[in-house]
Amino acid sequence: MAWKGNLDRLAIRVNLRRRKVDITLVMCPFCDEYEESVDHLFTACTVAIRVWVAVISWSNIPPIFAFEYKDLMDIQNSIQVGKKAKKIILGLVIISGWCVWKGRNELVFNQIKRSSQDIMVEIKSRGYGWVKSRSSGKYISWKEWCKYPMYML
């Protein structure tokens, strides 16, 4: 999903219309204020903005200034942290993008509306599983992870 998003190849409504798919609705399913493009869905939509604010607050990283999806995929390079922290930040960005995409698809295909808080709960859960499975030491605590994901550095 991250790779396709970076190439602007996700099946987003504007991209579907551009490919001559007969689509009647092109507005963002979350906010219904702007056309749904990759950049809007992941960086400008009010739901995505709330998710990024929550991720920043939770992980205690500097504010994210992303105007395009590509900016999100490069965010770890603009933060002065160690190599391990950069990997965690990139992983959290990719997981966050996936959870926003999943929330969007649940709304479009199943009419299940997820709030930014719901999406954040999933980000913490998926992020914990990802870090725990990739960590050489299996010492990562769920309780500590939920407070601050960089605690193990």
Q: For residue range 100-128, what is the model confidence (pLDDT) as tens digits?
A: 999 999 999 999 999 999 999 999 999 99
| Rounded-to-integer distance, Cα 13 and Cα 10, Å | 9
Diameter over CA atoms, the chain: 51
Q: In 1-141, where does DSSP find H-type helix?
A: 2-6, 13-18, 38-39, 46-59, 69-73, 83-110, 116-134
Q: For residue 6, what are the domain limits?
A: 2-147
Sign of the torsion angle spanned by Cα atoms 54, 82, 129, 71: positive
Residues 58-109 have pLDDT tens digits of 999 888 889 999 999 998 888 888 898 898 899 999 999 999 999 999 999 9
Is the model's pLDDT at 138 over the cut of 80? no
Could you tell me if residue 11 is inside a domain? Answer: yes
Could you tell me if residue 153 is inside a domain? Answer: no
Contacts 24+ apart (CB under 8 A), 88-91: 88/131, 88/149, 88/150, 88/153, 89/59, 89/61, 91/127, 91/130, 91/131
Could you tell me if residue 152 is inside a domain? Answer: no
Could you tell me if residue 20 is inside a domain? Answer: yes
Bridge partners, 27 (sequence order)? 35
Q: Global pTM?
A: 0.93
Is the model's pLDDT at 153 over the cut of 90? no
Residues 145 and 131: beta-carbon distance below 8 Å: yes
Sign of the torsion angle spanned by Cα atoms 146, 92, 119, 51: positive
Domain count, the chain: 1
pLDDT of residue 69: 94
DSSP of 115-126: -HHHHHHHHHHH
Residues 145 and 128: beta-carbon distance below 8 Å: yes
